[in-house]
Amino acid sequence: MRKILFAVLLLFTSLSINAQLKIGYVDSDTIMEKLPDAKDAQTRLDALIAEWQEELRRMENEWQTKYDDYEQRKLIMSDQKRAETEKELVSLENKITSYRQQKFGPTGELFKKQTEIMEPIQNKVFNVIQEVAEEQELDFVFDRSGDIIFLYAKPEYDITALVLEKLEIEE
């Protein structure tokens, strides 16, 4: 991260010797919080997450009920019945783990849905940012809610309001 920041500062220093730079920044978190499409997308994602979490809770409750029953009765069970019940509990546990991974894992449905739902919105915002930057004749635009941290930035360079205006969103 320091290398990237140093490279950016070095670039600015070398470019500012030859010409005056115009820099702008946006707060993409603010834009996404105020953009109705993003709010709707988040609502849809939250509904999916709630549905999947409810299914997980149901599966975990089923496992817990069977486990509790097994614990109470294991001393009076035959070896065969105990082995069958233990196998069933392991199977349910594996099913829960598989479901969790399928829905919430790094390549799970949640990741795919987030990409599917949010990518068009992010592209729209990116295009508007690019349009505003060109209209304002800016040399650089940074996202202050990302990895690059500003130690100081003049408010006059914040083009978040202009992007919101272009997106027809009131502050």
* Position 129 pLDDT exceeds 60: yes
Model pTM? Answer: 0.71
pLDDT band at 128 (very low <50, low <70, confident <90, very high): very high
Q: Determine the pLDDT at residue 47.
A: 97
- Give residue-wise pLDDT tens across range 67-110: 999 999 999 999 999 999 999 999 999 999 999 999 999 999 99
- Give residue-wise pLDDT tens across range 36-66: 999 999 999 999 999 999 999 999 999 999 9
Instruction: Indicate the average pLDDT of the chain.
Output: 86
Q: Where are the domains of the chain?
A: 20-166
Q: Determine the pLDDT at residue 53.
A: 98
Report how far residue 141's alpha carbon sits from residue 132's, in angstroms, rounded to the nearest whole number.
Answer: 10
Q: What is the DSSP string of the chain?
A: -HHHHHHHHHHHHHHHHHS---EEEE-HHHHHHH-HHHHHHHHHHHHHHHHHHHHHHHHHHHHHHHHHHHHHHTTTS-HHHHHHHHHHHHHHHHHHHHHHHHHHSTTSHHHHHHHHHHHHHHHHHHHHHHHHHHHTT-SEEEETTSSPPPS---GGGB-HHHHHHHTT---
Q: Determine the pLDDT at residue 151.
A: 44
pLDDT band at 149 (very low <50, low <70, confident <90, very high): low
